Amino acid sequence: MRETVKLISMEGFEFVIDREAAMVSQTIRSMLTSPGGFSESKDGVVTFPDISTTILEKICQYFYWSLQYSRGKETKFHIEPELTLELMMAANYLHT
Amino acid sequence: MVFGRIDRPIIFWEDGSSIIDESVTKLKRILEGKPETAFVTEQYMKNYTTIYDMCTQKPPENYSDQLYNKFRGIFEEYAKQTVLPSIMEKHDEYMLREFSQRWDINKIMVKWLSHFFFYLDRFYTARANLPNLNKAGMTCFRDHVYESIHFNAKQVIIALIHKEREDQQIDRALLKNVLDLFVQNGMESMDRYENDFEKFFLEETTSYYSRKASSWIQADTCPEYMIKAEESLKKEKERVTHYLHSDTEPKLIKGVQDVLLVSVAKDLLEMEDSGCSALLRDDKTDDLARMYRLYHAIPKGLEPVSEAFRLHVTSEGNTLIRQAEDKATNNNVVEQDVIRRIIDLHHKYMVYVTECFQNHTLFYKALKQAFEIFCNKKVAGISSAELLAMFCDNFFKKSLNDKSNDESTIESTIENVVKLLDYISDKDHFAEFYRKKLARRLLLDRNFNDEHERTILTKLKAQFGGQFTSKMEGMLTDMQLAKEHHSGFDTYIGNSGKPKGMDFTVTVLTTGFWPSYKTSDLNLPLEMVSCIESFKAYYETKTKHRKLMLIYSLGNCHLNGRFDSKPIELIVSTYQAAVLCAFNNTERLTYQELLEQLNLGHEDLARVLHSLSCSKYKILNKEPATKTISKTDSFEFNSKFTDKLRRIRVPLPPIDDRRRVVEDVDNDRRYAIDACLVRIMKSRKVFSHQQLVSECIEQLSRMFKPDIKVIKKRIEDLIGREFLERDTENPNTYKYVA
């Protein structure tokens, strides 16, 4: 079990985040825990050729905010309006 | 993924489909253990993304339907082409193994592919009202593989179980897996397991054990059969834990029990020489305990056993009574022996109830019923109530002298007596006999152990209520008070300055507590009269307004007889003393003279004279020297009398008051019945004859069993005395008259 996972955006940016944070996304969670020797679960690296860096960055922030929120820290999560649409679609894709 | 980037290519069906196919093939190879590289990076993403795209594209490129069908198709095809044939080409255990393995593979495959096709589950399946992916995959297996295989599988499984029953080794883990398979293929319910396997299994089990039962019952004794039955039940229970589903357990056990125990119950329990009665006879407690364990779980299974137990105990008790009758000579029943043996019998079978029969109420009842039957039989004309009272009397007398009886023996004997009394229906007879004997002990024997007497009364009170023992407790209290009076009286005499005269003590009894004694207006010798007077004066100082009635029949006297050879001290009753003192003044007296002088009744005088002239000690000489007293006899002081002892007790033969006791109790019963009837009618106001009689019997049963004829008579009497009246319309109903 690795402590961190690496998420790679379409431009090739690598975001290294905690495994727990990444698992907020159901899609990533299934990927990492599915049996069968997928390289994703073994290496802990997931590539998203369709998600831009900006969006991916925002998503990572969201993961952490979500964890904090569930632990009781009830703050607001600010979304820049121009990112909204892409963010929603990414969320759908990632089942978050 | 339409990310606002229009340059994203649309994936068309054929392309997308082929990507998926590629992955599926790869997956199959991996699952079947064939050499294949593991999925590479991006492959998961690729598959997921492809499907995601195909579902989110705008129609007509929205391929959700097709994808769902494709998913199903993958499994169907796999099942038909590969899975089913591979199972069908094998037999027996190998077939089962293949079946089990294929099922496991299928489960994994469903899971993996569900990950890829996951997006369908998020929206599509619910919207289209279709079963979700997991269910779809499982259903495919069920419809295309399970349905064709389960019959054969079931045959193989049952054959294997049969093998195990015949003590051969089988692969239990395999059976467990396959049976789990049956359960899971029922989806949410157990009906696949139940209908495709369990039903047949239970049938097979019952026929197997039914065969065994028939052969065993022919060849084995009851204990042997029971051991085998117990063993079989144990093995079947183990079987459940090893590989059957837990739901099966109750049905299985019931089935086996029905065949092995219920249907053969009669033959088994009544088996000659080894059935229930025989086991009881031979004290085979282990086998009886086993019988209890086996039949305990079966409804009504224990009834024949408890019935046999009851009959056995009853016959043992009856034998005991008969033996006592045979041994009794001239009404001289050795009650110590009989009661002891009954107590021992009770103890023995109580152990049976607590140990073999695990304190089950059915057996308590059986024991109680058995004891109630023979405990109420008479032995040589003496009722058990009286026997028990005699037993207590002798026991207490003996324990005074016999210091070897330690406290715990006494305690336990007392407890046993109380237990035994519970079975005797005429408890009031016992109470009366006991009371009379207690009075004798207290008054005549003088040496009594207050503590022991109180112990038994406490226990009787706890068991039967305060009313049962209140009189007797009063008697004991009187004895305590009497001691105080003795010392008080001595002080009084000392203070008054008058000489005391002869040494004497008076015991004051409270009338209600003690049995009623006959008294007579005996003319006391002068010497005694003054003593009585001074005591009366003393008592006046203590309590006014109480009348003292002197009961001379109970008194004791120590006389110094100045005989020629040596003076002897005579311990006699007051009556005897009065007679003897009469000879202080004259040498010779006739019967008539004595009668007049002493003012005694004929019966008493005859008895007294008999004891002084015709029995062991001839203190008076009688003329004529016949063996009986007649009114024409005359008596003379026998100065020649002597004995080797210096002090002798001249006993008065006791009157046989057994009949009187019974009469007295019967009288009391009439009052008790009256009171009970009135009490019932007062609360019920209106009551039918039958109900009144049965309620009356029930209320009185704690003390005695009332005779129905007597109850009827009492009812008539009460009607006459206007406590009750008959209802004018319905003569069978009574009304309370306030």
A70 close contact with B: CB closer than 8 A: no
What span, in angstroms and rounded, lies between the C-alpha atoms of B575 and B651? 11
Show residues of chain B in contact with A35, CB under 8 Å.
108, 111-112
Cβ atoms of B277 and B312 within 8 Å: the answer is yes
CA of A36 vs chain B CAs: smallest distance (Å): 8
Q: Tokens in use for A29? A: 């969670």
Show residues of chain A in contact with B2, CB under 8 Å.
89
Cβ atoms of B137 and B109 within 8 Å: the answer is yes
CB atoms within 10 A of CB B305: 26
Cβ contact, residue pair B111, A46, below 8 Å: no
SS3 B624: coil
Say what the pLDDT of residue A40 is. 61
Say what the pLDDT of residue B649 is. 82
Cβ contact, residue pair B30, A86, below 8 Å: no
Residue A86: closest C-alpha in chain B: B3
With a cut of 50, which residues of chain B have pLDDT below it? 1-7
Residue B113: closest C-alpha in chain A: A34
Say what the pLDDT of residue B394 is. 84
Residue at token pair 């989110």: B56
Half-sphere exposure of B590 (CA within 13 A, CB side): 6
Residue at token pair 């109530």: B385
A83 close contact with B: CB closer than 8 A: no
Give chain B's length: 738
CA of B57 vs chain A CAs: smallest distance (Å): 13
Q: Which of B38, B49, B118 has the CB atom closest to A37's CB atom?
A: B38
Residue at token pair 């193994």: B97
Say what the pLDDT of residue B559 is. 83
> Domains plus CATH for chain B?
13-138 (1.20.1310.10), 302-480 (1.20.1310.10), 555-649 (3.30.230.130), 658-736 (1.10.10.10)
| Residues 246-305 (B) with a CB less than 8 A from some CB of A | none
A81 close contact with B: CB closer than 8 A: no
Cβ contact, residue pair A36, B40, below 8 Å: no
B54 close contact with A: CB closer than 8 A: no
Cβ atoms of B102 and B145 within 8 Å: the answer is yes
Phi and psi at residue B481, to the nearest 5°: -60, -40
CA of B189 vs chain A CAs: smallest distance (Å): 28
Residue B123: closest C-alpha in chain A: A92
Global pTM reads 0.72
Q: Which of B3, B8, B45 has the CB atom closest to A46's CB atom?
A: B45
| Residues 29-48 (B) with a CB less than 8 A from some CB of A | 30, 38-45, 48
A10 close contact with B: CB closer than 8 A: no
CA of B21 vs chain A CAs: smallest distance (Å): 17
Say what the pLDDT of residue B207 is. 92
What span, in angstroms and rounded, lies between the C-alpha atoms of B87 and B628? 115
What span, in angstroms and rounded, lies between the C-alpha atoms of B101 and B95? 10
B566 close contact with A: CB closer than 8 A: no
> Helix, strand, coil shares of chain B as percentages rounded to 5?
65, 5, 30
Burial B140-179 (b: 16+ CB within 10 A, else e): bbbebbbeebbebbbebbbebbeebbeeeebeeebbebbb
B738 close contact with A: CB closer than 8 A: no
Which value, to the nearest 10 degrees, does the dihedral of the CA atoms of residues B138, B143, B147, B148 take?
A: -110
Cβ contact, residue pair B38, A39, below 8 Å: yes
Cβ atoms of B333 and B382 within 8 Å: the answer is yes
User: Which residues, at least 6 apart from B461, have a Cβ–Cβ distance to it below 8 Å?
Assistant: B468, B469, B473
Lowest-confidence pick of A24-28, A45-49, A51-55, B493-497: B493-497
Residue type for position B354? T
Cβ contact, residue pair B45, A89, below 8 Å: no
State the burial class of residue B674 (Cβ atoms within 10 Å of its Cβ: 0-12, 13-18, 19+).
Answer: middle
| Residues 622-641 (B) with a CB less than 8 A from some CB of A | none
Say what the pLDDT of residue B1 is. 41
Say what the pLDDT of residue B403 is. 67
CB atoms within 10 A of CB B69: 14
Among B443, B340, B318, B322, CA closest to B388: B340
Q: Which of A35, A50, A90 has the CB atom closest to B49's CB atom?
A: A50
Cβ contact, residue pair A31, B41, below 8 Å: no
Q: Which of B3, B5, B47, B110 to mutate to test the interface with A (most CBs of A within 10 A)?
A: B3
> Span A39-58, mean pLDDT?
78
Say what the pLDDT of residue B203 is. 92
Q: Tokens in use for A89? A: 């679609």
Say what the pLDDT of residue B5 is. 37
Distance of CA B588 to the CA centre of its chain: 70
Say what the pLDDT of residue B498 is. 66
Cβ contact, residue pair A93, B52, below 8 Å: yes
Say what the pLDDT of residue B22 is. 80
| Inter-chain Cβ pairs, chain A and chain B, closer than 8 A | 66
Q: Annotate B495-533 with DSSP letters as a single string.
A: HH-----S--------TTTSPP---------HHHHHHHH
Cβ atoms of B294 and B229 within 8 Å: the answer is yes
Cβ atoms of B272 and B244 within 8 Å: the answer is no
Instruction: Give the 3-state secondary structure of chain A.
Output: CCCEEEEECCCCCEEEEEHHHHCCCHHHHHHHHCCCCCHHHHHCEEECCCCCHHHHHHHHHHHHHHHHHHCCCCCCCCCCHHHHHHHHHHHHHHCC
SS3 B727: coil
SS3 B572: strand
Q: Which of B37, B39, B120 to mutate to test the interface with A (most CBs of A within 10 A)?
A: B39
- Residue A42 in this model has a pLDDT that exceeds 70: no
Cβ atoms of A67 and A28 within 8 Å: the answer is no
Cβ atoms of B78 and B27 within 8 Å: the answer is no
**What interhelical angle do B172-184 and B222-242 show, nearest 10?**
60
**Per-residue pLDDT tens over the stretch B360-404:** 888 889 998 988 888 888 877 778 888 888 888 888 887 777 766
Distance of CA B279 to the CA centre of its chain: 21
Residue type for position B497? G
Distance of CA B419 to the CA centre of its chain: 13
